[in-house]
């Protein structure tokens, strides 16, 4: 994409990137550590988390005799990516294990300390993983039969592995609550009804590609993936269509155009695009890829838009601080 840059473009400045996320501490251990996972001792190097120890124990059990290595229970770690410096976001809490020293912890973001002892099958840990997985499903529209990620969806895999048949809290099945599918871009389709807010896309966009396009915005139930430029559609955003967000997306929320119906059940008229009944279409205009750092004009517009967005966010935040809704 860099070949599309115009003369006079300035390089991306990471300090101008506003992903809307907190600055977390480094999650890993300061030293190598020996950790006991369900009775199996494993050694993990410096920089490891308890999830690394769990994975090491799982690896130790593969092909080993019964009772040697492995873990007593499945630890989905749904939002975990573990590559390219993305994460851990530790949002889904489906990696909860019980430790002797700190009780229940999210394994993906808890440092592996020397001598730590954890149980994956502790009753409270198993309950927490199960409830939290169902909570993720409760805000996912689960229209797998039209979804382009059907069969290669990490949420689907986790639900199958956990034998979820009927999620406690149901699934997002309220047509009034659906967000329109953003089909405006020629390259990437966004279906926020399938988003689990794992933040991988935001980190890929900002920390790996350093494009500064995507961000987390809003709060509470209104939290969503939006655009740092304050626009509403992918077409109007400063996206350069690198596709990294779609690559890392665990569900069918960000899918490359052209394969959004790759696994849709072949029934006429049955498509991902019309699956929720609301679509934001593109204008059809041809636009070159953009970055937020391209030229002064774009920067000024972006800043004006950011200021407006910030004011809106502040108003919404202040309103949210009151118990404003009717009850029940």
Reported in sequence order, the residue ranges of the chain that DSSP labels E, i.e. its strands, are 33-37, 40-44, 96-99, 103-106, 117-119, 181-183, 188-190, 214-217, 224-227, 254-256, 279-281
What b/e sequence results for 251-268 when a residue is b if at least 16 CB atoms lie within 10 Å of its CB, and e otherwise? Answer: bbbbbbeeebbebbeeee
- Out of 72, 131, 171, 210, name the contact with another protein by CB under 8 A: 131
C-alpha 110/C-alpha 100 separation (Å) is 13
Among residues 51, 54, 55, 78, the alpha carbon closest in space to that of 199 is found at: 78
Interaction of residue 155 with another protein, rule CB under 8 A: no
Which run of H or of E encompasses 297?
helix 295-320
C-alpha 61/C-alpha 46 separation (Å) is 22
CB of 150: closest distance to another protein in angstroms?
23
Binding-site size for another protein (CB under 8 A) equals 63
Half-sphere exposure for 169 (CA within 13 Å, toward CB): 13
Contact code string over 87-106 relative to another protein, x by CB under 8 A: -x-xxxxx-x-----xxx-x
Interaction of residue 123 with another protein, rule CB under 8 A: no
- Out of 163, 166, 176, 321, name the contact with another protein by CB under 8 A: 321
CB of 167: closest distance to another protein in angstroms?
10
Bridge partners of residue 96, in order along the sequence: 106
Q: Which is nearer to another protein, 221 or 267 (CB)?
A: 221
- Out of 48, 71, 109, 185, name the contact with another protein by CB under 8 A: 109
Interaction of residue 12 with another protein, rule CB under 8 A: no
Interaction of residue 299 with another protein, rule CB under 8 A: no
Binding site for another protein (CB under 8 A): 14-15, 17-27, 88, 90-94, 96, 102-104, 106, 109-111, 113, 124, 127-128, 131-132, 135-136, 138-139, 168-169, 197, 215-223, 306, 310, 313-314, 317-318, 320-325, 327-328
């Amino acid at each position: 994409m860099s070949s599309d840059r115009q003369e006079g473009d300035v390089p991306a400045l990471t300090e101008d990137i506003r992903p809307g996320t907190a600055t977390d501490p480094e999650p890993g251990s300061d030293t190598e550590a020996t950790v006991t996972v369900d009775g199996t001792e494993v050694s993990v190097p410096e920089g490891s988390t308890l999830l690394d120890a769990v994975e090491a124990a799982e690896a130790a059990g593969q092909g080993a005799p019964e009772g040697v290595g492995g873990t007593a229970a499945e630890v989905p770690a749904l939002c975990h990516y573990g590559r390219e410096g993305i994460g851990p976001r530790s949002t889904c809490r489906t990696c909860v294990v019980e430790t002797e020293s700190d009780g229940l912890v999210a394994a993906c973001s808890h440092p592996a300390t020397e001598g730590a002892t954890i149980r994956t099958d502790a009753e409270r840990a198993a309950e927490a993983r199960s409830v939290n997985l169902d909570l993720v499903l409760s805000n996912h529209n689960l229209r797998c039969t039209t979804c382009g990620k059907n069969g290669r969806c990490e949420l689907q895999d986790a639900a199958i592995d956990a034998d979820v048949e009927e999620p406690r809290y149901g699934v997002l099945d309220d047509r009034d609550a659906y967000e329109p599918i953003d089909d405006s871009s020629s390259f990437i389709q966004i279906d926020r009804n399938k988003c689990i807010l794992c933040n991988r896309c935001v980190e890929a966009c900002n920390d790996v590609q350093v494009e500064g396009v995507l961000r987390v915005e809003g709060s509470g139930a209104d939290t969503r993936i939006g655009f740092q430029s304050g626009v509403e559609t992918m077409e109007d955003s400063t996206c350069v269509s690198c596709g990294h967000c779609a690559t890392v997306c665990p569900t069918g929320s960000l899918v490359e155009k052209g394969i959004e119906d790759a696994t849709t059940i072949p029934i006429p008229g049955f498509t991902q695009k019309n699956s929720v009944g609301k679509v934001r279409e593109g204008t059809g205009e041809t636009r070159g890829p953009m970055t937020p750092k391209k030229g002064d004009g774009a920067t000024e517009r972006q800043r004006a838009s950011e200021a407006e967005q910030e004011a809106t966010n502040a108003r919404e935040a202040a309103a949210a601080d009151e118990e404003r809704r009717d009850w029940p």
